[in-house]
Structure 1
Amino acid sequence: MDTGTHIAMGIAIGALATLDPVVAASSVTTEAVMIGVIAGSLAPDLDTILKLKNNAHYIRNHRGITHSIPAVALWPLLIIVIVSLFFPNANLFHLWIWTFAAVIIHVFVDVFNAYGTQALRPFTDKWIALGVINTFDYFIFAVHVVAILIWFLGMSPGPTFITMYSIIALYYVWRFYMRHQIAKKIRQKFPDVVKMNISPTIRFTHWHLAITTKENFHVGRAVGQKIFIYDTFKKIPIPESDIIDVAKRDENLAAFLSFSPIYRWEVDEYSDHIEVRFIDLRYRSKDYYPFVAVVQLDYDLNIICSYTGWIFSEKKLRKKLDYLPH
């Protein structure tokens, strides 16, 4: 989820923590727990700082080890150590309980996005992405804001947030049902479907579609239960060639391939270089596919430059490549 929603979730957990008799009995513990749960709701996303290094490291690692089982255990301990420096008289056990709950909920809700997490590391590096909730879901955020406002106005946190979580649980069930119905429509339209990527958008009834059949990739959108196909690409296996082999060893393309489950590829030859491009088919936006990996090589197969990330026009991509080291 987005940062704003994670903060709202942290405040909601902090409100529920006031029902804990130990927390309620101590204003120091109450303050420490509120800070702890907000920190716990944000901590797993600290890997966002990897963007400062480069996109390849970010793509490979965002929601990876920081969302893993060991990290879920370690984040609350780290937060307790820091918070206890400012609130030495707080009850550390109850601070740990509620901070631990905040970290778990953060990782749990991220599993429902299309991006997903590696929440089962170290047992498996598989990305778990259920694809039913957009990274920012205005309904979930709004329900949290309303519940928090009602609590601030003096309503008991128990009934307020139990009602809120019940509404959100029903919402999740409805989203799963919507996705299931779209999957049924896709199977009817494409009986030879091999794989389908159904990703939510910020619009409640709109879903991105990237469908793999035996011979083609189909890219489109579901609106309600209607399927619209915008582009169809022939499935062409990646050839075994020295150009591709060298390009795959580049860190940017390697990061792209570790993350993208459905893509097409191109190799273009120019007067002074060769360009290898891999294009993720899940994120079509205004007739453009913004998530790409590009590797440029000279004719001796030395890598000139490379890039991976989200670029929303060919002009901006060319400008980005021109600025990279050559």
Structure 2
Amino acid sequence: MDTGTHVVMGLALGGIATLDPIVATDPITAQSIVVATLVGSQAPDLDTILKLRNNAKYIRNHRGITHSIPAVLLWPILISASIYFFVPEINLLHLWIWTFIAVILHVFVDIFNAYGTQALRPFSNKWIALGVINTFDPFIFFMHIVGIIIWSYGAHPGYTFVLIYSILVVYYLLRFHARRKVSNHILEKIPDAKEIIISPTFRFHHWHIAVTTDQYFYVARSKDHEIIIQDKFEKCPIPNTPVIEAAQKDENISAFLSFSPVYRWEVDEFADHYEVRFIDLRYRSKGYYPFVAIVQLDQDLNIISSYTGWIFSEEKLRRKLELLPS
């Protein structure tokens, strides 16, 4: 989920913690737990600082080790110990319990996005992405804001957010049902589909779709239960050529290929250089595919410049490449 939603979820957990008898009778522990759940709800996204280095590091590592099983066990210990160091009179066990719940909830809700997490590391590096909830879901965020407002007017925070979360459980079930209907509609339209990737949007009945068959990639969208085919590409394996081999050694290209499950490739030869591009097919927007990796190589196959990330126009992509050092 987005940062804002994780923040309000941390506050919500701090409210639910007041149902714990130990917390309810100990104001200092209660206040410390609100701080801990806020920090715990953000901690797994510490890897966002990798953006400061480059997009390749971020794409390859975001929601990876920081969302793994060892990290989920470690974050609550670090956070609880840090708070206990400054406030030793709090109940450490209950502080740890609620911090642990906050960290678990963060990783758990991220699984429902199309991006997903490597939550099973170190046992598996597979990305778990259920593709049910958009990274930012207005309804989920709005319901948390409603709960916080009701809390601010004096309502019991624990019972308030138990009710809110009961509504959200129903909402998640409705999203699963809606996604299943989209999948069934795709199979009616493309019966030879081998792999279907469905990505949610912030609109309930709008979904991005990428379908793989033995011969083609289909890019589609579902709008109000109607499947609309937008693009169709022949499925061509990546050739084993010197240009491609040189391109795959680039950090940006290798990061893209480690993350993207469905993409097409292009190789263009110009008078003085080659250009290799990989295009993720999951996120078509206004006729453009914004998630790409591109590398330019000279005639000797040395890398001139490269880029990976989200870019929404060819002009901006060209400017990015021009700014990169050769």
Any idea what the Cα deviations from partners look like across 1:1-53, whole Å, max 9, x if unmatched? 11111111111110111111211222211111110000000000111000000
Residue matched to 2:198: 198
Map 1:265-276 → 2, pairs under 5 A: 265-276=265-276
- Which residue identity is paired with 1:53? R
Deviation at 1:262, TM superposition (A): 0.4
Could you tell me whether the CA contact under 8 Å between 2:16 and 2:159 is conserved in 1? no
Any idea what the Cα deviations from partners look like across 1:154-205, whole Å, max 9, x if unmatched? 2223432221111111111110110100100100111110111110011111
Give the Cα–Cα distance (whole angstroms) in 2 for the partners of residues 277 and 45 of structure 1: 29
CA RMSD in angstroms comes to 0.9
Moved more, 151-160 or 253-262: 151-160
Map 1:124-143 → 2, pairs under 5 A: 124-143=124-143
Give the Cα–Cα distance (whole angstroms) in 2 for the partners of residues 6 and 66 of structure 1: 15
SS in 2 for 1:159: helix
Deviation at 1:151, TM superposition (A): 2.0
Residue matched to 2:69: 69
- Which residue identity is paired with 1:71? A
Give the Cα–Cα distance (whole angstroms) in 1 for the partners of residues 245 and 15 of structure 2: 54
Map 1:10-159 → 2, pairs under 5 A: 10-159=10-159
Deviation at 1:224, TM superposition (A): 2.0
- Which residue identity is paired with 1:167? I
Give the Cα–Cα distance (whole angstroms) in 2 for the partners of residues 225 and 292 of structure 1: 29
Moved more, 240-249 or 157-166: 157-166
- Which residue identity is paired with 2:35? I
Q: How many residues align?
A: 326
Give the Cα–Cα distance (whole angstroms) in 2 for the partners of residues 158 and 90 of structure 1: 20
Residue matched to 1:222: 222
Give the Cα–Cα distance (whole angstroms) in 2 for the partners of residues 305 and 93 of structure 1: 52
SS in 2 for 1:18: helix
Unaligned runs of 5+ in 2: none
Unaligned runs of 5+ in 1: none
Structure 1 residue runs of 4 or more that deviate by more than 3 Å after TM superposition? none
Give the Cα–Cα distance (whole angstroms) in 1 for the partners of residues 22 and 203 of structure 2: 42
Give the Cα–Cα distance (whole angstroms) in 1 for the partners of residues 26 and 59 of structure 2: 43
Could you tell me whether the CA contact under 8 Å between 2:17 and 2:158 is conserved in 1? no
SS in 2 for 1:163: helix
Give the Cα–Cα distance (whole angstroms) in 2 for the partners of residues 142 and 86 of structure 1: 34
- Which residue identity is paired with 2:250? D
Residue matched to 1:207: 207
Identity among equivalent pairs (%): 64
Give the Cα–Cα distance (whole angstroms) in 2 for the partners of residues 40 and 84 of structure 1: 14
Give the Cα–Cα distance (whole angstroms) in 1 for the partners of residues 24 and 177 of structure 2: 40
Give TM-score scaled by structure 1 length.
Answer: 0.98
Could you tell me whether the CA contact under 8 Å between 2:112 and 2:131 is conserved in 1? yes
Deviation at 1:272, TM superposition (A): 0.9
Q: Using a 3 Å threshold, how does the CA distance of structure 1 residues 18 and 159 change in structure 2: closer, same or farther?
A: closer
Residue matched to 1:169: 169
Any idea what the Cα deviations from partners look like across 1:235-269, whole Å, max 9, x if unmatched? 11111111111111111100000000000000000
Q: Using a 3 Å threshold, how does the CA distance of structure 1 residues 144 and 83 change in structure 2: closer, same or farther?
A: same
Give the Cα–Cα distance (whole angstroms) in 2 for the partners of residues 54 and 175 of structure 1: 34
- Which residue identity is paired with 1:80? S
Give the Cα–Cα distance (whole angstroms) in 1 for the partners of residues 43 and 158 of structure 2: 26
- Which residue identity is paired with 1:57? K
Moved more, 310-319 or 145-154: 145-154
Any idea what the Cα deviations from partners look like across 1:261-304, whole Å, max 9, x if unmatched? 00000000011100000000011111111111111111111111
1:295 aligns with 2:295: yes
Could you tell me whether the CA contact under 8 Å between 2:18 and 2:158 is conserved in 1? no
SS in 2 for 1:150: helix
Give the Cα–Cα distance (whole angstroms) in 1 for the partners of residues 202 and 27 of structure 2: 39
Map 1:205-284 → 2, pairs under 5 A: 205-284=205-284
Give TM-score scaled by structure 2 length.
Answer: 0.98
Give the Cα–Cα distance (whole angstroms) in 2 for the partners of residues 311 and 248 of structure 1: 20
Any idea what the Cα deviations from partners look like across 1:62-98, whole Å, max 9, x if unmatched? 0000000000000011111221233221111110000
